[in-house]
Amino acid sequence: MLFSLSFVSALFLGASAVYTPRDTAATRACLAIRVLLGPTIVETSGPEYDATAHGTWSLFNSIEQPTCIVYPRTAAHVQTAMRRIFKAEANYAVQSGAHSAMVGWNSITDGVLISTAHMKNVSYSLATDTITVQPGVHWAEIMDAVEPFGVAAIGGRASDIGTGILIGGGISFVSPLYGWSADSIKEMDVVLVNGRLVTATVNNQYSDLFKALKGGANRFGIVTRYELYSAHTGTKNDKNWYGGIINYSGAHSVAVATASANYIRDVVDPKAALIVLMNTVDTSAADANIIYLFYKGTSLPPSIFGEFLAIPSTSQTLSPLSYFEISNLIPGNGRGFGQQFGSSSLIGDNAHFQDAYSHLVNFTSSFPGQLAGAYLIISPVPKTQFDVSQARGGNAMGDVNVNYASLNYNLIYPEGVTTIPANVNTGFKLLLSQVPRTPGLPLYVNECDVSQNVFSTYTGTAYATLKNTYNKYDPSRFNVRHTVGPIGL
Ligand SMILES: Cc1cc2nc3c(=O)[nH]c(=O)nc-3n(C[C@H](O)[C@H](O)[C@H](O)COP(=O)(O)OP(=O)(O)OC[C@H]3O[C@@H](n4cnc5c(N)ncnc54)[C@H](O)[C@@H]3O)c2cc1C
Ligand SMILES: *[C@@H]1O[C@H](CO)[C@@H](O)[C@H](O)[C@H]1NC(C)=O
Ligand SMILES: *[C@@H]1O[C@H](CO)[C@@H](O)[C@H](O)[C@H]1NC(C)=O
Ligand SMILES: *[C@@H]1O[C@H](CO)[C@@H](O)[C@H](O)[C@H]1NC(C)=O
């Protein structure tokens, strides 16, 4: 052994008084990385370790106990960590904003967790009109830093989300105008599984990797720097949008689902933005249905939003808003509950949307007391969103030439529930099978269930291309064997 037993105990002292490390791949990797990077960067206990390991958005991921957490400050630190993880054949996970609902995708037990929490630089270059971010920033922090310049980076709708959204796709309120969040990536620095650092762009020798990382999620390497095209959305004082929030009681769920179906099919104006959240746990609640709706202009055009505006609401808060204000309306930072996502993608007649809703109602009512929240969340993905992708060289999802809805089922489990109950999980699988995607439409990997083979839904030759690219950059399939993430590669 390279390390003495006293060194092993020194490393783990404090993690737990009775903890004796086993000689596992993860302990070997942690020891080696700690020798190279030091105890400030490689932690096995303490307040920061606890905040990272036990502070994930979904409670299901916050019960993991990483063997060590590596907090790189530079890409070189990530390279050192990956080289040692690779050599030791250790399991590992990467965590940025910690918002994954998928169990095991952003933390790990008996493995190395790489947290980007100390890589938080954000800068805007007037010369290139691009925003450069390190992976540890949350969307609100990016917005705060660049808003004075009148620009924004395209992320999500909830401001607490981290940069992991970029490599899964990313739907923001302005995606109809500016594309998937991933489409705004101009350049990425990526540490491959063997520790090699490369810069990928749309037209350099790593252009295949560049495309794969725009939807390939955590399978293709660790991104240490994103250079993003900016969107000229204005400062926080430029109230060039109009809109807000409308609540409807459960009595109007059918009308809300119908209005959503019509909107998805008909609205082609990229200045329109919408998200619909339908909660089926208490359908008598005054806000059982919540919609966020915006238009880049001074009012909500009735030709676009008239059907929603005509449904009797319990409350409406509509006003002129800047994009900066819109991007801070949904914090999404609540913690302490187990979460589960599931994805479908839909176009079609109103009956399909009614089914997507009524199957959730049946599912929810079948497990009384076992769910604190059960949402059907409807996000429009208009054709214009993929037009931007194509203009930027395409992303991993392929090309879709129609307006569709990305559906996200979000289950929130009651406080104290630390694993997904088997009976609910079985029911959820049934629900997902009852609401199949419209053939040809991709599922959304950032909002899927762990059981869904999202990559296989990427359109045309996109799935085959993704698999080829994966085999090229990770020929020993190290990531798939040692990291939990999307299936199908
Ligand atoms: C409240 C809430 C609201 C949401 N709203 C939206 C929305 O409006 N639009 C939308 O599109 N999505 C939304 N999502 C989904 C969101 O896109 C995903 O949860 C996303 O993966 C979160 O990224 P993260 O960095 O916060 O999370 P993490 O869990 O830290 O990371 C997500 C995944 O990416 C991997 N990863 C992170 N950083 C890197 C890196 N640098 N290199 C390699 N792999 C990395 C992680 O290992 C993990 O598998 C929402 C989620 C939540 C919980
Ligand atoms: C990040 O910002 C800090 C402080 O401004 C600076 O010292 C460091 O060089 C920056 N790192 C990168 C990679 O830009
Ligand atoms: C409407 O929704 C918003 C956002 O969830 C909430 O703050 C508000 O209290 C709701 N109003 C009613 C009457 O339910
Ligand atoms: C309702 O959900 C339950 C629980 O998953 C399931 O057993 C039942 O078949 C569902 N009914 C319908 C009509 O889908």
Q: What is the pLDDT of residues 79-88, one digit of tens each?
A: 999 999 999 9
Structure tokens at 346: 């839909």
Interval 159-176: pLDDT, tens: 999 999 999 999 999 999
**Residue 480 Cα to ligand 2 middle (Å):** 32
pLDDT above 70 as % of the chain: 96
For the residues 252-261, what does the mean pLDDT come to? 97
CB 147 within 8 A of CB 122: no
**What's the pLDDT band for 3 if we cut at 50, 70, 90?**
very low
User: Is 317 close to ligand 3, i.e. is its CB under 6 Å away?
Assistant: no
Indicate the residue type of 283. Answer: T
Look at residue 17 in the predicted model and tell me its pLDDT.
42
Entry pTM: 0.95
Q: Over 90: is that where the pLDDT of 36 sits?
A: yes
Task: Identify which of 365, 425, 430 to mutate to test ligand 4's pocket (most ligand atoms within 8 A of the CB).
Answer: 430
Interval 321-345: pLDDT, tens: 999 999 999 999 999 999 999 999 9
Look at residue 22 in the predicted model and tell me its pLDDT.
72
Look at residue 254 in the predicted model and tell me its pLDDT.
96
Q: Which atom of ligand 3 is nearest to the CA of 314?
A: 13
Indicate the residue type of 173. Answer: F
Length of the chain: 489
Q: In angstroms, rounded to a whole number, what is the distance separating the alpha carbons of residues 348 and 438?
A: 8
Q: In angstroms, rounded to a whole number, what is the distance separating the alpha carbons of residues 58 and 110?
A: 19
Whose Cα sits closest to atom 1 in ligand 1? Answer: 332
User: Is 287 close to ligand 3, i.e. is its CB under 6 Å away?
Assistant: yes
Look at residue 23 in the predicted model and tell me its pLDDT.
78
User: Is 489 close to ligand 3, i.e. is its CB under 6 Å away?
Assistant: no
Q: Over 60: is that where the pLDDT of 362 sits?
A: yes
Rg (CA), the chain: 22
pLDDT above 90 as % of the chain: 95
Instruction: Tell me the β-bridge partners of 319.
Output: 243
Q: Which atom of ligand 3 is nearest to the CA of 286?
A: 14
**Residue 162 Cα to ligand 1 middle (Å):** 6
Contacts of 52 (CB under 8 A, 6+ apart): 69, 95, 98, 113, 115, 117
Look at residue 18 in the predicted model and tell me its pLDDT.
45
For the residues 288-316, what does the mean pLDDT come to? 98
Q: Over 90: is that where the pLDDT of 7 sits?
A: no
Using a 10 angstrom Cβ sphere, with 0-12 exposed, 13-18 middle and 19 or more buried, the burial of residue 202 is middle
Look at residue 476 in the predicted model and tell me its pLDDT.
98
Structure tokens at 325: 């204000």
**What's the pLDDT band for 5 if we cut at 50, 70, 90?**
very low
User: Is 16 close to ligand 3, i.e. is its CB under 6 Å away?
Assistant: no
Q: Over 60: is that where the pLDDT of 15 sits?
A: no
**Residue 37 Cα to ligand 2 middle (Å):** 18
User: Is 430 close to ligand 4, i.e. is its CB under 6 Å away?
Assistant: yes
Interval 183-202: pLDDT, tens: 999 999 999 999 999 999 99
Q: In angstroms, rounded to a whole number, what is the distance separating the alpha carbons of residues 21 and 8?
A: 7
Look at residue 21 in the predicted model and tell me its pLDDT.
62
For CA atoms 444, 138, 332, 256, the dihedral sign is negative
For the residues 221-230, what does the mean pLDDT come to? 98
Sole residue written with tokens 């790189």: 72
Q: Over 80: is that where the pLDDT of 12 sits?
A: no
Smallest CA-to-CA distance from 215 within 448, 18, 483, 476 is with 448
For the residues 455-480, what does the mean pLDDT come to? 98
For the residues 134-150, what does the mean pLDDT come to? 98
Contacts of 218 (CB under 8 A, 6+ apart): 94, 105, 164, 167, 479, 483, 485, 486
Which ligand has an atom closest to residue 292 CA? 3
Look at residue 14 in the predicted model and tell me its pLDDT.
43
